[in-house]
Structure 1
Amino acid sequence: MSDDVLSIIPTDPQWQPDRAAAERTAALAADLARDLADGVEVEIDVTWHDALAPVDCGENLERIGCPHCGASIDTEWYGDLLEDHGEDGFATLAVEVPCCGAATSLDVLDYDWPCGFARFEIAIWNPGRDWFDDVELAAVGDTLGHPVKQIRAHI
Structure 2
Amino acid sequence: MSEDVLSVIPTDPHWQPGRAAADRTAMIVAEMAPRLPGGVDVEIDVTWHDKLTVVDCGANLERINCPLCGDSIDTEWWADLLEAYSEDGFATLAIEAPCCGGATSLDALNYDWPCGFARFEIAIWNPERAWFSDEELGALAKALGHPVKQVRAHI
Q: Which residue of 2 aligns with 1:65?
A: 65
Q: Which residue of 1 aligns with 2:17?
A: 17
- 2:57 maps to amino acid: C
The separation in 2 between residues aligned to 1:127 and 1:28, in whole angstroms, is 14
- SS of alignment partner, residue 88 of structure 1: coil
How many residues are treated as equivalent by the alignment? 154
- SS of alignment partner, residue 87 of structure 2: helix
TM-fit CA distance, 1:45: 0.5
TM-score (norm 1): 0.96
TM-fit CA distance, 1:88: 1.1
Q: Which residue of 2 aligns with 1:147?
A: 147
The separation in 1 between residues aligned to 2:121 and 2:88, in whole angstroms, is 16
Output one character per residue of 1:72-115: Cα deviation in whole Å (capped at 9) or x when no partner: 00011011111101221001000001100011000010001000
Instruction: Assess if the C-alpha contact under 8 Å between 2:11 and 2:149 holds in 1.
Output: yes
Structure showing the higher helix proportion among its residues: 1
Instruction: Assess if the C-alpha contact under 8 Å between 1:114 and 1:151 holds in 2.
Output: yes
Residue 91 of structure 2 corresponds to residue 54 of structure 1? no
TM-fit CA distance, 1:128: 0.3
TM-score (norm 2): 0.96
Q: Detail structure 1 runs of 4+ shifted over 3 Å in the superposition.
A: 37-40
Provide the aligned C-alpha RMSD in A. Answer: 1.1
The separation in 1 between residues aligned to 2:6 and 2:149, in whole angstroms, is 10
Instruction: Assess if the C-alpha contact under 8 Å between 1:42 and 1:126 holds in 2.
Output: yes
